[in-house]
Amino acid sequence: MSSRVKYMPDIPEGYGPNPPLKLFERKNIFFCRQPLLAGGDYTTAWKTNVSDKKEFLFITVQIEKQGSSVSKAEKQINTVSEKNFTGKIVQHRNWWHRFYPESFISIPDARMESFYWIQQYKMASATREGKIPIDLMGPWYRHTPWPAYWFNLNMQLIYSPMYAANRLSLAKGLLQMIDAARNNLVLNVPESYRTNTMALGRSGGLDMYSPVKVYKERDTSATDAQLELGNLTWLLHNYWLHYRYTMDPQIKKQLIPLLKQSINYYLQLVYKENDGKWHLPYSYSPEYPGGVTRDCNYDLSLLRWGCQTLLDIAPLDPLSSKWKDILMNLVDYPQDEIGLRIGRDVAFNQSHRHYSHILMVYPLYTMNWDQPENRALILKSLNHWHSFKGALQGYSFTGGASIYATMGEGQKAVDYLNQLLDRYVKSNTMYLETGPVIETPLAAAVSIQDLLLQSWSGKIRVFPAIPDIWKDVAFENLRAEGAFLISASRKDGETEWVRIKSLAGQPCIINPGIKGNLKTSNANATIEPIENGFIRLNLREYEEITLYKNGITDFLVSPVNLNNINQLHFWGRK
């Protein structure tokens, strides 16, 4: 039975425990068979072999919807345990040896660096290319009120560190899940709006069936979860990131109809008022108590991002004029004297762990620090959000850290990350609220990446938010939007060199952060200064260039000295 039973006050009548499990042994194999009231069963089987003074434990879990799965489990154990595993072990180790060098970072904070690397291990332990997506726990099970996929933040954060870390093969499972669920994404929309539309509610299974009940006129029977309008669009932001970090035309081809149908639901809901602006009906801002409101900032930000992105990737689409109209005439984000509101009808006046109301700032960047006119509002909204302490949780600090990183406030970002590590992360690097949620430690890996490299709004920023105390920093093959591999080294508080490799021949606008006269490994390269330290480079596909300051001759990436060597293996031996 669902582990949610332990946490839910209202259990449906007749919903009781499954029959007792059965433990037994047969032919040196141990079995635990759990019959299910719904029909069928699942069986855990295990066997131990000793060979060459080594002990091998073989475990399998099998399920049958009708009948017994015992014979299936027995066959699987016998098949696997009779194999010679020497080659498999070598293959397994070789996989990890290929995985880790896909990218590299070295920072002087030993504890934080250790934490970053254990997140890389956890990502690859929780999923592989071609496998199902990671849920809220990954393979580290315990009782939880959330035995499912959550689509209003968790899935988005789980996959967020894979892009810049250059580990995109691990993220393919999310794309495959979305592609396979297209029919259910249509069925999630109320029938009266089900014309070239898609949606996704708060949570669900691998099939992504999770209906939404947002109408032009509010359905008062709808739960908060059913009023979360923007979840699919936010999840498609991850799909778009996968495209932007690879520039794979096939991924773009698959994304366009998905994003169009997600935005089409919005287009059927928007309406104009006397101000001549497009408005949104009642929807819910995830996690905020009483957060049902018109012109919800969560949804306004996603609608604006979706329309702009569609214009970028499908500018000749017949709907392009409608997207432009939305961008020109969409109501402004509701705000007041203390910052961004939850929405038109709801102020931000209590503690709130989610950054649903400032999604336009992070991770969408449609409102950002490069816009001087928005800086005061961004800072005011961030400070006001974190001024209420009661409901803040771990990912409140990863979101805050990444926002500070966009401002170039590296020390404040690190302070937030240290609060996360000090107060919320367990000794085994896991994170727990009412139940385990794997996304928060993984999101912290993104915040660390954001200190070293940022790429948004078509620009790459190298070492954009390094704290003053971090004198030496280095990284190799972090990936940026536009499909660039970036490597860089910083010593004594100054960037020495930056190497850029183009994987797709896309335009490259980058701020290398190098002081003084800029040297280049390619004397024929055209470097066009733009403004604020940014330059434009024209690189062909697979072309590479190194930018460096005068006098630099060593372009190797090496581990930097640690400020706190006693915390070298704080989260486990590397």
If phi > 0 it is left, if psi is from -120 to 50 it is alpha, else beta; for residue 310 that is alpha
Rounded to 5 degrees, what angle do the CA atoms 458, 461, 464 make? 140
pLDDT tens digits for 348-382? 999 999 999 999 999 999 999 999 999 999 999 99
- Of the candidate CATH numbers 2.60.40.1180, 1.10.150.120, 3.40.190.10, 3.90.660.10, the domain formed by 460-549 belongs to 2.60.40.1180
Question: H-type helices in 22-85, by residue range?
Answer: 70-81
Tell me the percentage of the chain whose pLDDT exceeds 90.
Answer: 89
Per-residue confidence band for 417, with pLDDT thresholds at 50, 70 and 90:
very high
**Three-class secondary structure of residue 508 per DSSP:** strand
Mean pLDDT over 501-521 rounds to 96
Over 80: is that where the pLDDT of 9 sits?
A: no
Distance between terminal CA atoms of the chain?
Answer: 39
Q: Which residue has the tokens 């996360």?
A: 420
Strand partners, 31: 24, 45
Cα–Cα dist 155/147, whole Å: 13
pLDDT tens digits for 288-330? 999 999 999 999 999 999 999 999 999 999 999 999 999 999 9
Looking at every residue in the chain, the average pLDDT score rounds to: 96
User: Can you give the three-state secondary structure of 512-524, one letter per residue?
Assistant: CCCCCCEEECCCC
Query: How do beta strands 527-529 and 494-502 pair?
Result: unpaired
pLDDT tens digits for 111-159? 999 999 999 999 999 999 989 999 999 999 888 999 999 999 999 999 9
Mean pLDDT over 502-529 rounds to 93
Over 90: is that where the pLDDT of 493 sits?
A: yes
pLDDT tens digits for 54-76? 888 999 999 999 999 999 999 99
Mean pLDDT over 12-19 rounds to 86
Rounded to 5 degrees, what angle do the CA atoms 531, 537, 540 make? 160
pLDDT of residue 14: 81
**Structure tokens of 480?**
């940026």
pLDDT tens digits for 449-471? 999 999 999 999 999 999 999 99
Cα–Cα dist 190/283, whole Å: 14
- Of the candidate CATH numbers 1.10.3720.10, 1.50.10.10, 1.10.1520.10, 3.40.50.2000, the domain formed by 148-388 belongs to 1.50.10.10
Over 80: is that where the pLDDT of 573 sits?
A: no
User: Can you give the three-state secondary structure of 328-394, one letter per residue?
Assistant: HHECCCCEECCEECCCCCCCCCCCCCCCHHHCCCCCCCCCCCCCHHHHHHHHHHHHHHHHCCCCCCH
Per-residue confidence band for 4, with pLDDT thresholds at 50, 70 and 90:
confident
Residue 22 φ then ψ, to 5°: -125, 125
pLDDT of residue 535: 97
Contacts of 494 (CB under 8 A, 6+ apart): 514, 515, 549
Contact status, residue 72 vs residue 64, Cβ threshold 8 Å:
yes
Over 90: is that where the pLDDT of 525 sits?
A: no
Over 80: is that where the pLDDT of 425 sits?
A: yes
pLDDT tens digits for 427-446? 999 999 999 999 999 999 99
**Structure tokens of 194?**
């089900």
Strand partners, 482: none
pLDDT of residue 501: 98
pLDDT of residue 530: 94
Residue type, 202: R
Over 80: is that where the pLDDT of 426 sits?
A: yes
Cα–Cα dist 451/461, whole Å: 10
